[in-house]
């Protein structure tokens, strides 16, 4: 009997040791192999920022890519946060912000996002809708830009088609909100082939503006000139996204167009 008792105790000890090693292995994997970075799902999750309740306030819905998310601003505010500051300085109106920006979004992904019921509901109650989209369609999500004219033309055609669908969908959901589309700046303006990249971005912006002109209560907001003369002063260390000062410039430009 004592022999069986000792054997059973040994079995439990081995089992406990095994479970402990498995748990330790999972801990090591999570802490070191993943390096503490969020999963792809966490990175893609939009952030909703509510300054106050919707009732009795001006409602702004922000859609788009990493510029709407505020990537590159160490404070985390982005142009949306600075816009709230700007509007607060010039008006006593209560402001509600719903920020659905997602890093890396291209126009097709934004179009798909508009199918989400919660976002549709917020758009329906919005007074203003802000959009940043197209940079990843053109700049390939911050990677080296492909200057092949045929590929750029194809990318632009797809983007304009998606943008037209985005604007139509937003207008279907909300007939009265004013839509602001933030144009592109050229982060590569001080590098080689700057003349070519400048022409590409300007042509892209021109066609975007032309599309916005065809829509009711839709405003194109240029940013190219804000970064043109001293782009390095307004870019984050990745040399692609704006830094805090760059986002402040965009916020000031947008704020000057919003009145109530």
Residue 148 binned pLDDT confidence (cut-offs 50, 70, 90):
confident
Percent of the chain clearing pLDDT 90 (strictly above): 68
pLDDT of 166 strictly over 60 = yes
One domain for residues 51 and 84: yes
pLDDT of 31 strictly over 70 = no
Give the tens place of pLDDT for each residue, 44-89.
445 555 444 566 789 999 999 999 999 999 999 999 999 999 999 9
Give the tens place of pLDDT for each residue, 202-227.
999 999 999 999 999 999 999 999 99
One domain for residues 201 and 246: yes
One domain for residues 18 and 99: no
Give the tens place of pLDDT for each residue, 76-134.
999 999 999 999 998 888 999 999 999 999 999 999 999 999 999 999 999 999 999 99
Residue 243 binned pLDDT confidence (cut-offs 50, 70, 90):
very high
Angle at 223 (CA atoms; ends 218, 228), nearest 5 degrees: 160
One domain for residues 28 and 149: no
Q: Find out whether 106 and 138 touch, Cβ atoms under 8 Å.
A: no
State how many domains the chain has: 2
Q: Provide the pLDDT for residue 141.
A: 55
Please provide the distance, in angstroms rounded to a whole number, between the alpha carbons at the two ends of the chain: 88
One domain for residues 163 and 193: yes
Token duo for residue 172: 């279907």
User: Is 182 part of any domain?
Assistant: yes
Q: Which contiguous run of DSSP H or E holds residue 182? A: strand 178-182
Token duo for residue 90: 């010039």
Averaged confidence pLDDT in the chain? 84
One domain for residues 83 and 33: no
Q: Which residue has the higher pLDDT, 191 or 245?
A: 245
CATH number for the domain harbouring residue 133: 3.40.50.1110
User: Is 189 part of any domain?
Assistant: yes
User: Is 112 part of any domain?
Assistant: yes
User: Is 260 part of any domain?
Assistant: no
Residue 25 binned pLDDT confidence (cut-offs 50, 70, 90):
very low
* Nearest by Cα to 235 from 68, 124, 112, 73: 73
User: Is 205 part of any domain?
Assistant: yes
One domain for residues 22 and 53: no
pLDDT of 11 strictly over 60 = no
Domain containing 184: what range? 40-255
One domain for residues 92 and 195: yes
One domain for residues 107 and 7: no
One domain for residues 58 and 27: no
One domain for residues 5 and 57: no
Residue 182 binned pLDDT confidence (cut-offs 50, 70, 90):
very high
Q: Find out whether 210 and 168 touch, Cβ atoms under 8 Å.
A: no
User: Is 101 part of any domain?
Assistant: yes
User: Is 195 part of any domain?
Assistant: yes
Collapsed DSSP state (helix, strand, coil) of residue 167? helix
One domain for residues 130 and 6: no
Q: Provide the pLDDT for residue 55.
A: 67
Give the up-direction half-sphere exposure of residue 167: CA atoms within 13 A in the CB hemisphere. Answer: 24
């Amino acid at each position: 009997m004592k022999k069986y008792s000792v054997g059973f105790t040994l079995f439990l000890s081995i089992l406990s040791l095994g479970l402990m090693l498995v748990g330790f292995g999972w801990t090591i994997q999570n802490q070191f192999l993943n390096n503490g970075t969020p999963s792809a799902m966490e990175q893609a999750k939009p952030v909703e920022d509510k300054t106050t309740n919707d009732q009795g306030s001006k409602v702004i819905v922000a859609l788009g890519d990493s510029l709407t998310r505020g990537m590159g601003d160490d404070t985390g505010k982005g142009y949306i946060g600075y816009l709230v500051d700007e509007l607060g300085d010039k008006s006593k109106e209560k402001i509600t912000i719903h920020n659905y920006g997602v890093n890396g979004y291209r126009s097709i992904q934004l179009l798909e996002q508009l199918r989400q019921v919660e976002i549709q509901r917020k758009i329906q109650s919005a007074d203003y809708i802000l959009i940043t989209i197209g940079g990843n369609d053109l700049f390939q999500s911050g990677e080296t830009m492909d200057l092949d004219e045929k590929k750029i033309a194809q990318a632009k055609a797809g983007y304009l088609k998606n943008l037209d669908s985005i604007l139509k969908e937003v207008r279907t959901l909300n007939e009265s909100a004013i839509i602001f589309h933030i144009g592109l700046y050229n982060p590569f303006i001080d590098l080689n082939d700057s003349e070519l990249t400048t022409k590409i971005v300007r042509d892209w912006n021109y066609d975007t503006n032309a599309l916005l002109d065809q829509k009711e209560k839709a405003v194109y907001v240029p940013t190219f000139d804000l970064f043109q003369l001293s782009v390095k002063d307004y870019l984050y260390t990745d040399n692609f996204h704006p830094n805090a000062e760059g986002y402040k410039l965009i916020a000031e430009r947008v704020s000057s167009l919003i009145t109530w």
